[in-house]
Chain A
Amino acid sequence: MRISLTIMAIIWGTLSITMLLAFGEGLKRQLEKNRRGLGDGILIVWSGQTEKPYRGLPRGRPIWFKRDVIDYIRDQIPELEAVGGEYMNWGREITYGEKTISEKVNGVLPDYEFMRSLYPMPGGRFLNKLDIERKRRVVFIGNQLRDELFGEPGSPGYTDPVGKMITISGIQFTVIGVMQKKQQMGMYSGPDWSTAFIPITTFETMYNRRTLNNLVLKPKGVSQAEFIKDRLYQILSSKYQFDPADKRALSIWDVIESARTMNKVMVGMQIFFGIIGGLTLIVAGVGVANIMYVAVRERTAEIGVKMAMGAKRGQVMAQFMLEALLISAIGGGLGLFISFAIAAALGAIPVQSEAMEWLGKPTISVPIALVTIAVLTMIGLISGYFPARKAASVNPVESLRYE
């Protein structure tokens, strides 16, 4: 009874420590994937409205980025690996054959391929310099856009989109590539998988647009992000005539920074969960120690007999240590087994709900299993040690006294 309760406590402790760590690990991996999906270590910059009057100019003046700002930033901040800007147009009619859908069209530069992780599937390519220079009517499409227009690969009626003509806002484009499927959680203008990417120059003439929606910057090193943010305020404030301290004039989304804080939060969560699980296990360990103390008390006569027969201190202790280890091994083994079962069961559920996608799938990594086993062994040893020591200090004369 006592033993089964304690084993339950160890199972519960093991379960909570592994499951909580596993959820943390799953979440961490999911976040990592998301960050990769949006682009690794990039800054996204939007123009805003001035909040402070500056050199006679009134407040509330909007700032507009034109395409020349891209070259300007590239010249002024050599610490950047790449600079890009983009135009967007939502809800454009896109047609292939009989099918018409309405989706987002982006005008972008070739650097977007690596800045925003827009990698082509084999057989296709992303936009290149010549496409920009010659204002070619070529398009790189997201994988979901492909599914809607051309069907999913392998399904009946599927056609390879590369080289096919599609119509965007009434103008014919040649499909040059399809984006590889990717996980994208972080987004600022809609998912890449249902976007049509065309050359920035083609976009300008087609939609007669000159104002960029936003800039995307990629620093050479992750550690430079802060410095680049400062530099950006300096150089853009002089170009657009606003107070460098006017935070409203620009807004910057630091994907690196948010990923880093998220990471910290995650690590924090794992530590927190680990501590909760650890405490449960410690309580369970106290339970084991208690059982062992009772066992020692109940078996003092037996201990005395063993001593009379020449058992050494270590031989008397070994029995109790082993018993404590056995109890925690049984509980821990069952706990780990159940954790694996739960993780496997959750892993088998197809990701459907938003929440699940955000949480990620619980993942029991080897380190998690090892940490749990180490903790269980420690608990077994410690909770066995003190009762065993008590057993070894039994006075055989007292315990054998028989009146």
Chain B
Amino acid sequence: MIKMRGIRKVYDTGRIEVEALKDVDLDIKGGEFVSIVGPSGSGKSTLMNIAGCLDVPSEGTYELDGESVEGLSMSQLADIRNRKIGFVFQAFNLLPYATAFENVELPMMFGKVPARERRKRARELLERVNLGDRLDHRPAELSGGEMQRVAIARSLAMKPKLILADEPTGNLDSKSGAAIVDLFEELWKSGTTILLITHDSTVATRTNRVVYLKDGMVRSQAREMAADMKALKERKRLDTMQ
């Protein structure tokens, strides 16, 4: 599904250049449920943006679903995002003035799905995420967990092969966060490839495979990762004690 070779990404902010990714190789097969963990600023979001064709690497090659995305036009990339990828964000990013139903319809509007089919599917998806009774609610009228479930329903609208979720539980309490991960697990079981970025080790342990990213590089050494994880847990413990 995802095949990255020698991916490098440099942000040129004018005065300073930030090397967000340095020589990343990554393979994710269809049907995998993979989490990416790593400290803040390690390049996780950058990696996801490239995987999601929202951004292009400075160097390296990227094949999505067996096809190279190099040299594709803006419009072609938009098409790929529309048909093959579903995004879920930490901040939910629903349209505030649109209802849950309309938010789920939106990708299908861009995909020019006929109105009747669009409505039917939006309803089905919201029922699937247990929001069948919230169709006409606007984001402000929903809880964080509900908003994220609307966002997941939206990400599924065009039946994508790949779901990219950037810290989807980051803004949620542990209970609704766990419910979201349950939902991802369910999706994975029905055949969707999922790439999940997280800070949370308990979330990461629920996936098939954990990719550890640090300083823009994939670290395979389990020890290094375990040490970082331990430090992270310690910090969390201290945080809760205070």
Contacts and interface: CB of A to CB of B under 8 A. Distances in A.
Interface in A291-331: 301-302, 304-313, 315
A2 interface: no
B99 to A, nearest CB: 15
Given A305-B93, A313-B75, A397 B110 contact: no
A400 B87 CA distance: 11
Contacts of B87: 305, 308-309
Contacts of B109: 315
B89 interface: yes
Contacts of B90: 402
B81 A309 contact: yes
Interface stretch (B47-55, B60-68, B198-206, B211-219): B47-55
Contacts of A311: 78, 82, 110
A304 B87 CA distance: 11
Contacts of B55: 397
Contacts of A309: 81-82, 87, 106-107, 110, 154
Contact of B93 (A313, A397, A400): A400
B229 interface: no
A332 B28 CA distance: 56
Scoring A302, A308, A315 by chain B CB atoms within 10 A of each residue's CB, the highest score goes to A308
A402 B91 contact: yes
Interface string B86-115: 010111010110000000001101110000
Interface string B169-198: 000000000000000000000000000000
A310 B95 contact: no
A401 interface: yes
B149 to A, nearest CB: 16
A63 to B, nearest CB: 85
Scoring A310, A315, A402 by chain B CB atoms within 10 A of each residue's CB, the highest score goes to A310
A396 interface: yes
Contacts of A313: 74-75, 78
Given A305-B95, A309-B81, A310-B83, A400 B107 contact: no
Contact of B54 (A307, A312, A315): A307
Contact of A307 (B78, B89, B96, B158): B78
A304 B166 CA distance: 15
B70 interface: no
B110 A312 contact: yes
A312 B111 CA distance: 10
B91 A312 contact: no
B91 to A, nearest CB: 5
A310 B52 contact: no
Contacts of A396: 54
A310 to B, nearest CB: 2
A310 B93 contact: no
Contacts of B52: 308
Nearest to B106: A309
A396 B78 CA distance: 11
B79 interface: yes
Given A301-B93, A302-B95, A315-B110, A308 B54 contact: yes
A176 to B, nearest CB: 77
A306 B89 contact: no
Contact of A400 (B75, B89, B110): B89
A25 B80 CA distance: 57
A310 B52 CA distance: 11
A306 B106 contact: yes
Interface string A387-400: 00000000011001
A388 to B, nearest CB: 15
Contact of B107 (A301, A302, A310, A312): A310
A310 B54 contact: no
A309 B158 CA distance: 9
A300 to B, nearest CB: 11
Contacts of B78: 307, 310-313
Contact of A310 (B89, B96, B110, B166): B110
A6 B236 CA distance: 52
A313 B74 CA distance: 8
A308 B82 CA distance: 8
B183 to A, nearest CB: 19
Contacts of B49: 397, 400
Given A302-B95, A305-B93, A305-B95, A310 B45 contact: no
Nearest to B40: A403
B41 to A, nearest CB: 9
Contacts of A305: 87, 89, 93, 95
A118 B133 CA distance: 83
A306 B81 contact: no
21 contacts: A301-B93, A302-B93, A302-B96, A305-B87, A305-B93, A306-B106, A306-B110, A307-B54, A308-B87, A309-B81, A309-B106, A310-B79, A310-B82, A310-B83, A312-B74, A313-B78, A315-B110, A397-B49, A400-B49, A400-B93, A401-B45
Given A309-B154, A313-B78, 20 more contacts: A302-B95, A302-B96, A306-B106, A307-B81, A308-B52, A308-B81, A308-B87, A309-B87, A310-B78, A310-B80, A311-B110, A312-B74, A312-B75, A313-B74, A313-B75, A397-B54, A400-B54, A400-B89, A400-B93, A402-B89
